Amino acid sequence: MVPERRLREELVRFGRLCYERNLLVAMDGNLSALLEDGSILCTKAGCHKGFLTDDDLVVIDRKGRKLRGQGEPTSEMAMHLACYEERPDCRAVVHAHPPIAIAFTIANVSMARCVLPEVVLTLGTVPTVPYETTGTRKLADSLRPYVRDYDAVLMDTHGAVCLGTSVLEAFCRLEIVEHTALITKTARDLGGAKELDPAEAVRLRSMGLKRYGGPPSAVARADQPGADLPAPCLGCSGCANPHPTGVAPKADLRMARVVSQPLLASPLVEAAVAQAVMRALST
Ligand SMILES: [Zn+2]
Residues 238, 245: Cα–Cα separation, whole Å? 20
Which residue range(s) make up the domain with 78? 1-283
pLDDT digits (tens, 9 = 90+) for 60-102: 999 999 999 999 998 899 999 999 999 999 999 999 999 999 9
DSSP code for 65: -
Long-range pairs for 260-268: beta carbons < 8 A, 24 or more residues apart:
260/188, 260/192, 260/193, 260/194, 261/192, 262/191, 262/192, 263/189, 263/191, 264/191
pLDDT of residue 113: 86
Name which of 93-97, 138-142, 265-269 the model is least confident about.
265-269
**pLDDT for residue 229:** 87
Question: What pairs with residue 163 in β-bridges?
Answer: 93
Neighbours of 16 (CB within 10 A): 16
- Overall number of domains in the chain: 1
* Res 9: pLDDT: 98
Ligand 1 centroid distance, CA of 155 (Å): 9
Residue 23: its H or E element? none
DSSP state letter for 263: G
Distance 206 CA to ligand 1 centre (A): 32
Q: How far is the CA of 202 from the centre of ligand 1 (A)?
A: 32
Q: Is the pTM of this model over 0.85?
A: no
pLDDT tens readout for residues 157-212:
999 999 999 999 999 999 999 999 999 999 999 999 999 988 899 999 999 999 99
Position 250 scores a pLDDT of 38
| C-alpha 21 – ligand 1 centre gap (Å) | 16
Report the CATH number that the domain containing residue 96 is assigned in CATH.
3.40.225.10
C-alpha distance from residue 243 to each of 95, 165, 166, 186 (Å): 21, 23, 26, 27
